[in-house]
Amino acid sequence: MKKILWIIITGLCFLAACGGSDIDFSVDNSPHYVTDRETEIIIMVEDNGEAVSGMTITGSLEMAKMDHGVIEANFTDNGDGSYTANVDLPMGGEWIMETEAELDGKVYEETITFNVSEG
């Protein structure tokens, strides 16, 4: 009896995990560094190919190969699945952003690596 109950519970947990959403976060523009100007970063959020709006999104940015500390970003919802933040970056190069998004009480975390051009 215990074995049958264990199989049922395991099966239900498996089905619940498979039925989850597939939220994807990606940088949707080519960020460009200019001295003494903020850099615009646009991220796109999709759930199984459909744009997701209404999220509250923050990001913690760090340079991949140099230490410039952590730069915080608060994204604004553009209403079409894209979110924009302007950040004061010290230089171009490869950046890593730890993204945290919240929608209807559920929190999503994603690490995004992207390049910022210079010049």
In a domain, residue 17? The reply is no
- pLDDT value of position 15: 40
Residue numbers in the chain where pLDDT is lower than 70: 1-21
Number of domains in the chain: 1
CATH number of the domain at 110, please: 2.60.40.3340
In a domain, residue 2? The reply is no
What is the value of pTM for the model shown?
A: 0.79
Structural domain of 101: 22-118
Written as one letter, the residue type at 45 is: V
In a domain, residue 60? The reply is yes
In a domain, residue 15? The reply is no
- pLDDT value of position 18: 42
In Å, what is the CA distance from 42 to each residue of 4, 27, 70, 84, 117? 50, 6, 18, 5, 14
Mean pLDDT estimate for the chain: 86
